[in-house]
Amino acid sequence: MSTSRTKKTTTDAVPFALGLGANLPSRGESAVGTLGQALDCLEDLVGSLQVGPLYRSRPLAARRQRAAPPQQDYFNTVAVGRTVLSPDAVLALAKGLELAAGRALVARPGERDGPRPLDIDLLLYGDTVSQRRELRLPHPRLLERRFALAPLAAIAPHWPVPPGGDSVSHHLAALGEEQWLVEIPWPDAGPRPS
């Protein structure tokens, strides 16, 4: 008995958006250097990425006035690409990069708002909506995070966020400017916003 297999092609590629953040050095790199290395690795693994501006933001715990260990400001950006990989596979790549950067040494799985050498979230995967415990799409806190929406709006302002379909720029405007965020230049050797 013969079976036929269909191979996904680049025309089947789905757009995805990853949010990246760091506020601790990792393996001799500054937090910004770690972001640059993660973006280089991601491009090696999934192909060309469009990288958003670099932002500095206050830790979420400080903004929520919750008890949390003192920590430095975060550096954040977003990368957008296209892939034939499943959303689970993209998330697995992201979590592997977090582990390689030493995240397991400072943060337990599921711990929120703590310091991190690298944090990568799958924000959007096409128009996919998922409520599975291990993969929620769109990212459940995307619309609450100016540090994710601002760099995403800079490179993909018209991306419709499911399930309602309002654009990223619409959600950024609706969030307002309550959360402190400042755009900073990428270092000369770092990635360039596209």
| pLDDT one-digit tens code per residue, 21-33 | 999 988 888 999 9
CA distances to 16, 45, 125, 150 from 82, in Å? 6, 12, 9, 20
Q: What is the mean pLDDT of residues 25-43?
A: 92
In the predicted structure, residue 102 carries a pLDDT above the cut 90: no
In the predicted structure, residue 185 carries a pLDDT above the cut 80: yes
Distance CA 120, CA 85 (A): 17
**Partners of 54 in the β-ladder:** 184
Q: What is the per-residue pLDDT for 176?
A: 87
Q: What is the per-residue pLDDT for 71?
A: 83
pLDDT tens sequence across 110-160: 456 678 899 999 999 999 999 999 999 999 999 999 999 999 999 999 999
Active site residue 66: no
Looking at per-residue pLDDT, the higher value among 189 and 13 belongs to 13
In the predicted structure, residue 3 carries a pLDDT above the cut 50: no
Active site residue 116: yes
Percent of the chain predicted with pLDDT > 90: 68
Q: Which of 103, 132, 145, 192 is catalytic?
A: 103
**Partners of 130 in the β-ladder:** 137
Active site residue 121: yes
Q: What is the pTM of this model?
A: 0.87
Active site residue 119: yes
Q: Which of 56, 82, 121, 146 is catalytic?
A: 121
First to last CA, the chain: 49
Looking at per-residue pLDDT, the higher value among 178 and 48 belongs to 48
* Residue pointed to by tokens 């307002």: 176
Q: Which of 56, 82, 116, 146 is catalytic?
A: 116
DSSP state of 84: S
Q: What is the per-residue pLDDT for 5?
A: 40
